[in-house]
Structure 1
Amino acid sequence: MSMQNVLKQVVKETIAPLFKVEGYKKQGNNFAYMCSDFSATVNIQSSKWNTEDEVEFFFNTGIYIEELFLSVYQYPKPPFPMEVNSVLRIRGTELTNNESWYRLTADTDVEQLKRMITKDVTEYLLPHFRQFESIKDVIKVMELREKDGIYENPHYLTVLYCSVGEMEKAQERMARVYSQLKLDSQKEFARGLANRIGLRI
């Protein structure tokens, strides 16, 4: 059996049930737990170097917030919440503190790999998502990561401050971000965004 098919089997028999029992919906290799304000998202990413005989893959995680499609993103929202359209996009390897990818070859003990995946999902990925009960929790973690020098699109937090009614914080951040922008196109986008969410520049 090709390793690609073994991966499909692992997803079907081990990974999908772990998320399904927690209330996650599945689309392809994407999973999402939908709350009213946001969704927890997981994607199974396969290495682009995969072959029939050797397959490597890992989890990507994120928090999908529809609010951002109304203001920051300039394209229609997807029908299913995807990790690629999320904030706080964190690789599963960062959450498990294990840099290596999951690997399937003819020599792999598949049952052992399934046990490792089960442990990582139940002890690291799912608990990571449980800390988010509201947009304010998402903001808190984004602020902490920014303090640690891990930056995302600078406008995400501005919009999220607005969404929870923290207009002064949003205004202060918009002004600070705008003053640091170098390109005219970036400044033009920021002015348009400020206009859309009721801030001044």
Structure 2
Amino acid sequence: MLQQLFNDLIKQDVKPLLSNYGYTKKSLNFSRKADDLVYMFNFQKSSGNSADNVMFYVNCGIYSVELAQIQSKEILTAPLEPECHFRARIGEIVQAVPDRFAVTPDTNKDDLIAVLLPGLEEVIRFFETMTDARSIVDYYMSGPFLHLSEESFHLLLKSGEVTAANLYLRALHGKYGAEHRWTIFENKYKAIFNIYGVKYDVS
């Protein structure tokens, strides 16, 4: 019964909403292509579900053809969420929405919809600010995050944005430089800077 409530939620509420924004459904994935980007929502059911508790996550992703090319990977026409370059749970983008939802015998579907659907629309508005590969890079630079850092340096240095690359490098070093794993990343970054003939300097 709870599984049916989840299925109805996807079919009757989520699908119509996302369809209005141009998203097409395949299984529990909803995607929309715009130029060189693919925007995606993935509804991931928990492996620990039971007859009394159906838990699910909403994963949000953006796939970039340009970043895939930098990675020397095959260009995917129908990428899955784990293959996206930007990845986040809905709660990381919309703080008022939980990362995990639970459908239990006590669940009021209207209450669930009142949280989930506005959250999806908020993510769509966030997606609208992510219009190209550089937008994704800017997001991870703002952390600064290690995720996608190698691709980010390639994108910046290839475009001649040496100042931005150096600022990002120093921010990463300031945040992660004391960690043992930094040496691994440092060697990779040095090799990338060398490719573009740019001096590697974290001072």
- TM range, smaller chain: 0.7 to 0.9
- What is the deviation of 1:108? 1.0
1:1-201 matches, within 5 Å, as: 1=1, 3-72=2-71, 76-97=74-95, 98-99=97-98, 101-122=100-121, 124-146=122-144, 150-161=145-156, 165-166=159-160, 168=162, 182=183, 199=196
Whether the 8 Å CA contact 1:158–1:170 is kept in 2: the answer is no
Tell me how far apart the structure 2 counterparts of residues 5 and 40 of structure 1 sit (CA, whole Å).
27
Q: Aligned pair in 2 of structure 1 residues 171, 134: CA closer, same or farther (>3 Å)? A: closer
Q: Greater relative contact order: 1 or 2 (C-alpha under 8 angstroms, separation 6 or more)?
A: 1
After superposition, what is the alpha-carbon deviation per residue over 1:134-177, rounded to whole angstroms, capped at 9, x for unaligned? 3332232221121xxx32032221243367x336469869x999
2:41 partner SS:
strand
Tell me how far apart the structure 2 counterparts of residues 199 and 88 of structure 1 sit (CA, whole Å).
25
TM-score by length of 1: 0.74
Q: Aligned pair in 2 of structure 1 residues 154, 136: CA closer, same or farther (>3 Å)? A: closer
Q: Which runs of 5+ in 2 are unaligned?
A: 173-180, 199-203
Whether the 8 Å CA contact 2:55–2:100 is kept in 1: the answer is yes
Whether the 8 Å CA contact 1:132–1:138 is kept in 2: the answer is yes
Tell me how far apart the structure 1 counterparts of residues 117 and 162 of structure 2 sit (CA, whole Å).
44
Q: Aligned pair in 2 of structure 1 residues 172, 94: CA closer, same or farther (>3 Å)? A: closer
TM-score by length of 2: 0.74
RMSD: 3.3
Q: Equivalent residue for 2:178? A: none
1:80 partner SS:
coil
> Mean Cα displacement is larger for which, 90-99 or 102-111?
90-99
- What is the deviation of 1:55? 0.7
> Mean Cα displacement is larger for which, 97-106 or 54-63?
97-106
Q: Aligned pair in 2 of structure 1 residues 170, 100: CA closer, same or farther (>3 Å)? A: closer
Whether the 8 Å CA contact 1:42–1:83 is kept in 2: the answer is yes
Between the aligned residues of both structures, percent identity stands at 21
Q: Aligned pair in 2 of structure 1 residues 171, 119: CA closer, same or farther (>3 Å)? A: closer
Q: Aligned pair in 2 of structure 1 residues 162, 11: CA closer, same or farther (>3 Å)? A: farther
Q: Aligned pair in 2 of structure 1 residues 81, 169: CA closer, same or farther (>3 Å)? A: farther
Whether the 8 Å CA contact 2:92–2:99 is kept in 1: the answer is no
Whether the 8 Å CA contact 2:137–2:148 is kept in 1: the answer is no
- What is the deviation of 1:14? 0.9
